[in-house]
A and B are shown apart, each in its own frame.
Chain A
Amino acid sequence: GAVVSQHPSRVICKSGTSVKIECRSLDFQATTMFWYRQFPKQSLMLMATSNEGSKATYEQGVEKDKFLINHASLTLSTLTVTSAHPEDSSFYICSARDWRGGLDTQYFGPGTRLTVL
């Protein structure tokens, strides 16, 4: 299957700093990527839809000024957590939508563990 990578896999930062997480589709172009977060013992929650060349669309309750999403190329979307606080500590997972061959499939990255001290 297709490969989606995330970088970094783990990050620890101080409260008030900003953290950038990258999501890359390695062997296909993805016009649409999705960002999810997962708290311990909980399910994945969709945060936003990232569209190449246009603004991201955010789910209800997700602060767009806090979670900045940039999808500047067909293989890269970035999520920046601005002025991070301990409550932002979570597991962030991206997925990329693959339309090749007429099949519409989402491939997920391995996730990024963010810890805010």
Chain B
Amino acid sequence: AQSVTQLGSHVSVSEGALVLLRCNYSSSVPPYLFWYVQYPNQGLQLLLKYTTGATLVKGINGFEAEFKKSETSFHLTKPSAHMSDAAEYFCAVTPVDSWGKLQFGAGTQVVVTP
């Protein structure tokens, strides 16, 4: 069985500061990894994903994440926060042999302060 843990249900960051959202997974076989963002009253939007290849993945809106197998982590970062980054962020995994069946972390609400 696999699980996804997001550290911190709420994160407050100043505009212009680094955004760091942590995600760790538990799985016997490294899964495919995703980060989604959810703005109020909207569906989840894919920020980025890791399947194979380069472990540093760049996504939309200036976000990137690095897959670290030894640490079973897939932390999301953005060098400089914008007010528009305020949203809820979900880390998700899907087994390699069962693509599409996403298992989500609990989510992290990001608040950006001026």
Contact = CB atoms under 8 A, between A and B. Distances in A.
User: Chain A, interface size: which category?
Assistant: 20 to 34
If over half of A's interface residues share one DSSP class (helix, strand or loop), that class is named, otherwise mixed; here it is: strand
Interface stretch (A12-20, A73-81, A99-107): A99-107
A114 interface: no
Contacts, number: 49
Interface string B31-59: 00000100001111110000000000000
Interface string A83-116: 0000000000101010000001111111100000
A111 B43 contact: yes
A62 to B, nearest CB: 13
Contacts of B99: 104
Given A43-B90, A44-B90, A34 B102 contact: yes
A104 B101 CA distance: 13
Contacts of B4: 43
A40 B45 CA distance: 20
Contact of A43 (B45, B101, B107): B107
Contact of A93 (B43, B100, B105): B43
Interface of B: 4, 9, 36, 41-46, 90, 99-107
